[in-house]
Amino acid sequence: MVMGVSKTKIDIQGLSVSYGPIQSLKNVSFKVNEFEILGVIGPASSGKTSLLRAFNRLSDENPLFRMEGKVLLDGVDIYKKMDVPTLRKKIGMVFALPTPLPLSIFDNIAYGPRLHGIHRHSELEAIVEKSLRSSFLWDEAKDRLKTPAMKLSGGQQQRLCIARTLAVEPEVILFDEPCSGLDPIATAHVEEAMGVLKEKYTLILVTNNTKQAARVSDRTAFFLMGELVEIDRTEKIFTVPSDQRTEDYISGRFG
Amino acid sequence: MIRLNPRLTQNVAFAFLFFSTLLIIVPVFCILFIVVRNGLPALNWEFVSAYPRLGMRAGGIFPAIVGTVYLVLGAFVFSLPVGILAAIYLSEYAKDHWLKRVVEVAIVNLAGVPSVVYGLFGLGLFVFFLKFGASIIAGSLTLGIMSLPVIITASREALGAVPRSFREVSLALGATKWQTIRRAVLPNALPGILTGTILALSRAAGETAPILFTVAAFYLPRLPKSIFDQCMALPYHLYVIATQVPNVKPSIQYGTALVLIFLVLAMNIVAIVIRARFRKRKLW
Amino acid sequence: MRKRPHEFFIETAIFLAGTVSIFFVILIFIFLLKEGLALFRTVSLWDFLAGKDWYPISQPPKFGALPLVLGSLWVTLGAIVVSVPVGVACAVYIGEVAPRWLRETLKASVEFLAAIPSIVLGFIGLVTLVPLVQNIFHLPTGLTALSGSLMLGFMAMPTIVSIMEDALSVVPKSYREGALALGATPWQTIWRVVIPAASSGVIAAVMLGIGRVIGETMAVMMITGNAARIPTTLLEPVRTMTATIAAEMGEAVQGSPHYQSLFAIGIVLFIFTFIINLTADFFLHREMADLKKPRKK
């Protein structure tokens, strides 16, 4: 792994997020490097999911959402200077439970490109194949592209969701506890895909499974009750963390 | 006071409940039976394809059937788009504040307006004020507005039944709100929307009061040629031959009623079939 | 990325369509007022509302709407007296007592009744119920308020049954289970626990039933006779507001006082049903809210 100067992909400055009376993030500041996998760990209600949704602005859909601070993507303020659909094309999201649309495998993946104006069938076919290959689903899916996506197994569906996100050519991919509904083999497939994806994309992985973060991520951030407690290289966080609370969470004293 | 045996009370009470139910159900079947038995003899090809003769006492009811079809189609063309868009507003766009509540109250009220008041409204607005005259367009618009509350309510339910995850996935891929509605939500709500619309229109097909002054003609020698013409209609025709024209054979009256019931029933069945097939094929 | 303006147009259309229901309610009211209020240039409001003589085509014409209002009220009252107990009982039977396999058939039958056009029911009432009433009570004619009440009560059943059914189904299962666990028989549970819990639903059902009946036109027109006199018993012909409008609009010249008087009746009808619907809606909402609150200790 190159340990030289990494370019900052996302710069979070003093981000606070609240939904009505509930404050889910308190003055959070850190940077996400390009082409890294950043693991985000912490107990329930620590603000991890709010963080992700603040990045692709899905939080906007909630009428109670309020934010302060800045989030910069490649130096551009995503709340003030960027149009939301464009942002969401650049920052994709894979959700906790697999969420195929009630369409065929092909149409699921082609859904995104079609939104953005690509209609020629040959182009779509190329995109579908490329995306399925990148999420390691091509071999299993190539003979059943026109069959309903909902008939795939859970692990396959989740890889389909990854492929679907890749099809719009994002720069960052957010994973919100993507393996929570999957068995160990399916989980391994997803983690394998993530390891390859980071060569071309920046990945942020929120997970309840600290061991997964230890396996997969380059750096890890620990959140507790809306605050960023510590962020550092993964080996350091999991062996000699700087903060006692991090140590307690990782060793299972609470969670 | 005598302590009544609870078991006995229950048996008596349940018997009362049962007979009350019969009191409703039995007449329904009796009515159906009467209409079918007395109307079936009149039903032949001539009846549904010929014009009335001898002042409605003989011949067929073809123009009334056609008129009703035109009116229903006209109502459909107006109310379906408006109804869907209004439902989309309520389901996808409206925030939870006073405007949404006022709209909902307005819908409840529109649903409760008596059909004859709709007739007055159609007369005042479409026939006279907008100068359409008694015409298919006046009648269709009146029936369409009357059907709106049901269509909006059913569509709103259908839209609400689409899982939230579909919307989130679409938005997360960079879709705008309208793109999401058009591609991820609406197609999955369409069967429910169609079911509700067809049911609403089946009611409109049987309505007499709204069309009394806005479109219905006593007798027309030819079929209407434009939407500004009057037309005949089945419910009005039944009214006429049951109360205004003396000495009409009962079989013709019952036959007309039967055709009307068939039409309404057919629409109901279509709606129910759409709903059932959709439920079966739904993967979520 | 193509975004606005094509999106702007469709979203504007959506917003306009969303508010269209408010627009139409107001529009209906305005048109009724426009034509109906004109009557009161020549006729006083008191004469209209309290006048006992409705002779619109006599010289000079008299527009006392009281017989019509009372006609509507009598018929409605009679219908409600008949339909509410039977309707509630039927809903209770279908929802709480009937075996599962029978339930759907019964529901379908009641819904089928709702689908029959009112003109057909009016016709059937005319040829079956009216002669029956005439014979049973030895009347000169069977076209009476009673016939109207019976028929309309029958027609209101689907409304009442379905509202009651919904109200009963919202009552939490725990209420029933709690009562049964204490040793109550199923009937006692229904009578003392479930129905009281659904009481808002009963009120809403009654209100909506009233609204349904008061607004019915064709069946009433064919069955109640058409005598615009204040009824003293239910066994006389009456004229309802709705039937008056439907029967006389054809003869009224546009813009004439007669024409205006029919719109004025329309205003009265509109206001009645507006209030009834608002009340019913209020009770329906209250029931939903009540049942969601945690139970008091």
Q: Can you tell me the ipTM of this complex? A: 0.91
Question: Which parts of C125-217 fold into alpha helices (H)?
Answer: 130-137, 145-170, 173-181, 186-189, 195-197, 199-214
Mean pLDDT of all residues belonging to chain C: 87
Q: How far apart are CA A83 and CA C256, in angstroms?
A: 61
To test the contact with chain A by mutation, choose from C1, C3, C4, C6 the residue with the greatest count of A C-beta atoms within 10 A, namely: C1
Cross-strand pairs, A40: A206, A221
The pLDDT, as a whole number, for residue C253 is 84
The pLDDT, as a whole number, for residue C44 is 86
Q: Which residue of A has its CA nearest to C1?
A: A116
Cross-strand pairs, A231: A221
The first and second tokens of residue C82, run together, are 């008949």
Pick the closest to residue B170 from A115, C297, C108 (CA basis): A115
Q: Decide: helix, strand or coil at residue C294.
A: coil
Instruction: Write out pLDDT tens, residues A2-56.
Output: 555 678 999 999 999 999 899 999 999 999 999 999 999 999 888 899 999 999 9
Asked, for residue A37, whether it belongs to a domain, the answer is yes
Domain boundaries, chain B: 62-281
Under the banding of pLDDT at 50, 70 and 90, the label for residue C233 is: confident
Cβ A63–B169 below 8 Å, yes or no? no
**pLDDT surpassing 80 at residue C291:** no
Instruction: Write out pLDDT tens, residues C97-109.
Output: 888 888 888 988 9
Tell me if chain B has a CB within 8 Å of the CB of C192.
Answer: no
Mean pLDDT of all residues belonging to chain B: 90
Which DSSP letter does residue C94 get? I
**pLDDT surpassing 70 at residue B1:** no
Cβ A165–B284 below 8 Å, yes or no? no
The first and second tokens of residue A47, run together, are 């603000």
Question: Pick from B166, B175, B284: which is nearest to A85 by CB?
Answer: B175
Q: How far apart are CA B50 and CA B45, in angstroms?
A: 8
Cβ B105–C7 below 8 Å, yes or no? no
Q: Tokens 């409840």 appear where? A: B108
C-chain residues near B177 (CB < 8 A): 11
Number of domains in chain A: 1
Under the banding of pLDDT at 50, 70 and 90, the label for residue C287 is: low
C-chain residues near B230 (CB < 8 A): none
Instruction: Write out pLDDT tens, residues C139-183.
Output: 888 888 899 999 999 999 999 999 999 888 888 888 889 988 988
The pLDDT, as a whole number, for residue A1 is 47
The top-level CATH class assigned to C45-292 is: mainly alpha
The pLDDT, as a whole number, for residue C278 is 86
Distances in whole angstroms, Cα of residue B143 to Cα of each of C159, C217, C221: 21, 15, 20
* Amino acid in position A96: A
* Number of continuous H segments (helices) and E segments (strands) in chain A: 10, 10
CB B216 within 8 A of CB B209: no
Tell me if chain B has a CB within 8 Å of the CB of C179.
Answer: no
* Number of continuous H segments (helices) and E segments (strands) in chain B: 12, 2
Tell me the nearest-neighbour CA distance from A169 into chain C, angstroms: 15
Q: Decide: helix, strand or coil at residue A243.
A: coil
Cβ B283–A88 below 8 Å, yes or no? no
Q: How far apart are CA A66 and CA A60, in angstroms?
A: 9
Using the Cα atoms of residue A89, residue A94, residue A99 and residue A102 in order, give the sign of their dihedral: positive
Q: Decide: helix, strand or coil at residue A134.
A: helix
Tell me if chain B has a CB within 8 Å of the CB of A105.
Answer: no
In CATH terms, the superfamily for domain B62-281 is MetI-like (1.10.3720.10)
CB B47 within 8 A of CB B251: no
Centre a 10 Å sphere on the Cβ of residue A207 and count the other Cβ atoms it contains.
25
Using the Cα atoms of residue B172, residue B178, residue B180 and residue B181 in order, give the sign of their dihedral: positive
Cβ B173–A101 below 8 Å, yes or no? no
CB B151 within 8 A of CB A66: no
Under the banding of pLDDT at 50, 70 and 90, the label for residue C41 is: confident
The kind and range of the H/E element at B116 are: helix B115-122
DSSP, residue by residue, C276-288: HHHHHHHHHHHHH
Q: How far apart are CA C243 and CA C221, in angstroms?
A: 5
Cross-strand pairs, A77: A72
> CA C236, C241, C247, C252: dihedral to nearest 10 degrees?
130
* Amino acid in position A224: L
Cβ A58–B171 below 8 Å, yes or no? yes
The pLDDT, as a whole number, for residue C281 is 83
Lowest mean pLDDT among B231-240, B274-283, C32-41: B274-283
Q: How far apart are CA C51 and CA B169, in angstroms?
A: 66
Task: Express as a percent the part of chain C with pLDDT over 70.
Answer: 95
The pLDDT, as a whole number, for residue A4 is 57
Q: What's the start-to-end Cα distance of chain C, in Å?
A: 59
CB C198 within 8 A of CB C164: yes
Q: Which chains touch C (3 or more CB pairs under 8 A)?
A: A, B
The pLDDT, as a whole number, for residue C204 is 87
Domain boundaries, chain C: 45-292
Asked, for residue A3, whether it belongs to a domain, the answer is no
The first and second tokens of residue B56, run together, are 């409605």
Cβ B13–C242 below 8 Å, yes or no? no
Provide residues of C within 8 Å CB-CB of chain A.
1-3
Under the banding of pLDDT at 50, 70 and 90, the label for residue B249 is: confident
Q: How far apart are CA C243 and CA C9, in angstroms?
A: 44
Give the mean pLDDT of B68-91.
95
The pLDDT, as a whole number, for residue C297 is 43
The more confidently predicted of residues B1 and B206 is B206
* Amino acid in position C266: G
Q: How far apart are CA B122 and CA B140, in angstroms?
A: 10
Question: Pick from A63, A88, A164: which is nearest to B95 by CB?
Answer: A63
Q: Tokens 């119920």 appear where? A: C129
The pLDDT, as a whole number, for residue C2 is 47
Give the mean pLDDT of C253-262.
88
The pLDDT, as a whole number, for residue B273 is 93
Cβ B120–C266 below 8 Å, yes or no? yes
Provide residues of B within 8 Å CB-CB of chain A.
95-96, 165-166, 168-176, 179, 183-184, 188, 282-284
Residue A93: domain span: 8-250
For each successive 10 residues of chain A (255 residues), what is the average pLDDT?
A: 71 93 92 93 89 93 91 92 92 92 94 92 93 91 91 91 94 92 88 89 92 91 92 90 88 80
Cross-strand pairs, A8: A33
Distances in whole angstroms, Cα of residue A128 to Cα of each of A101, A141, B170, B212, C112: 15, 10, 17, 59, 50
* This prediction's pTM: 0.90
CB B148 within 8 A of CB C24: yes
Tell me the nearest-neighbour CA distance from B50 into chain C, angstroms: 22
C-chain residues near B13 (CB < 8 A): 187, 191
The pLDDT, as a whole number, for residue A130 is 93
The pLDDT, as a whole number, for residue A113 is 94
Q: What's the start-to-end Cα distance of chain A, in Å?
A: 31
